[in-house]
Amino acid sequence: MALATDFPRPVVWRPRRLLITRAARGFAHGRAIAARAGAAGVEVIELPGDRLTLDLPDDQRRAYAAAKATLAVTVAPPSKRRLQPIAPSADWRVDLAEGCPAHCSYCYLAGSLQGPPITRVYANLEEILAVLPDHLGRGTVTSRQRARAGEGTTFEASCYTDPLALEPLTGSLSAAIAWFGRWQAEAQLRFTTKFADVAPLLALDHGGRTRMRASINPPAFARFEGGTAPVAARLGALRQMADAGYPVGLTIAPIIAAPGWESAYGTLIDDSAAALAGARDLDLTVELITHRYTAASRAVLESWYPGSSLDMTGQDRATKRTKFGGEKQVYDAATMRALRGFFEARLATALPAARLLYWT
């Protein structure tokens, strides 16, 4: 097996422009982000107020591209700092940013976030972290479930973003990891990523209170994950984090039941096992998430990626009601049984020490 250092250099996202609001400039963290961006050659635009003004082209495709190339530094309002449950992943969702620079043609954010797909990062990081102690022991997932009680109260940082993708400019993830490392409590920060530049995280005093998960799919489905790191690089980064003492995990998502899926995912699981073989004191979890979409997200995704071959025709699908009263399309019962049976058996053979947290 290749060593982690043998993998290609990580993909690093660099926006074309950074917008920073007046309020964000009042925070040292916000000013530092703008300074890093400027030093990296990114155009920095200081807005006169706190409203994001976007001069986007009328053409939908060009407007999408311009928005995706924009990073905005804003201030998270009190509503964003009011933590929400995020089962089955974790007790609470904590947002360091909102939006993602990747170009995944299955992106669930397409149906969750409103407006142009710019990425917003929050300047008031200290205020965001300051509310976390109030939620200690008050969640309903790891705080209450006996099977996951060893994780303590968990805080998910990847619900609406990929924090590692933004880390070279923001430093927010490093700051959060260090904060959890100093927090003498039964708590854990969690993030999942399709990127691989973990170098800034390796020497941090994390105290074992942050779990990185690599979000992976077979290379055969890489065409659905534009702008992300190669899967081999993600697995190499995961090994580096494990060697640095972090608890780690695999987020196999979204599981796509396309022709040849058994062979593709079997190889992916074997590659994951090879990448982690021999890691000392390995603390490994697995999360399995099948592909799903809503009518709204499909409409947005088809406008963003009109040439995508991702199947959203409704074949082999069933309608499932969401907790908010909406509807989403999931795989039908027969497909779900086949997928779940395969993954549970293959993981038990290839990664017997891994803990399967959930299937959805």
The string of pLDDT tens digits covering residues 98-157 is 999 999 999 988 877 778 899 999 999 999 999 999 999 999 999 988 889 899 999 999
Q: pLDDT digits over 14-41, tens only?
A: 999 999 999 999 999 999 999 999 999 9
Q: pLDDT digits over 242-285, tens only?
A: 999 999 999 999 999 999 999 999 999 999 999 999 999 999 99
CA atoms within 13 A on the CB side of 213: 28
Q: Measured between alpha carbons, how far is 246 from 212 in angstroms, rounded to an integer?
A: 7
- Residues above pLDDT 70, as percent of the chain: 97
pLDDT of residue 9: 58
pLDDT of residue 325: 78
Q: pLDDT digits over 186-238, tens only?
A: 999 999 999 999 999 999 999 999 999 999 999 988 889 999 999 999 999 99
Q: Find the helix or strand (DSSP H, E) in which 25 lies.
A: none
Q: Domain locations in the chain? A: 4-359
DSSP string, 138-185: --SSTTT-GGGGGG-EEEES-SSB-HHHHHHHH-HHHHHHHHHHH--S
Q: What is the mean pLDDT of the chain?
A: 93
Burial class (CB in 10 A: 0-12, 13-18, 19+), 254: buried
Q: What is the mean pLDDT of residues 59-80?
A: 93
pLDDT of residue 4: 42
- More confident site: 11 or 330: 330
pLDDT of residue 8: 54
Look up residue 189 and give its two tokens: 């920060």
Q: Measured between alpha carbons, how far is 86 from 117 in angstroms, rounded to an integer?
A: 22
Q: Measured between alpha carbons, how far is 43 from 34 in angstroms, rounded to an integer?
A: 9
Write the Ramachandran bin of 273: left for phi over 0, alpha for psi from -120 to 50, otherwise beta. Answer: alpha
CATH-assigned architecture of domain 4-359 = Alpha-Beta Horseshoe (3.80)
Residue written as token pair 């959930």: 358
Look up residue 237 and give its two tokens: 């980064």
The structure's pTM equals 0.94
In 3D space, the residue among 219, 240, 161, 153 whose CA is nearest the CA of residue 193 turns out to be 161
pLDDT of residue 61: 83
Other beta carbons less than 10 A from residue 253's beta carbon: 20
Range in 15-29, 78-92, 314-328 the model is least confident about: 314-328
pLDDT of residue 3: 40
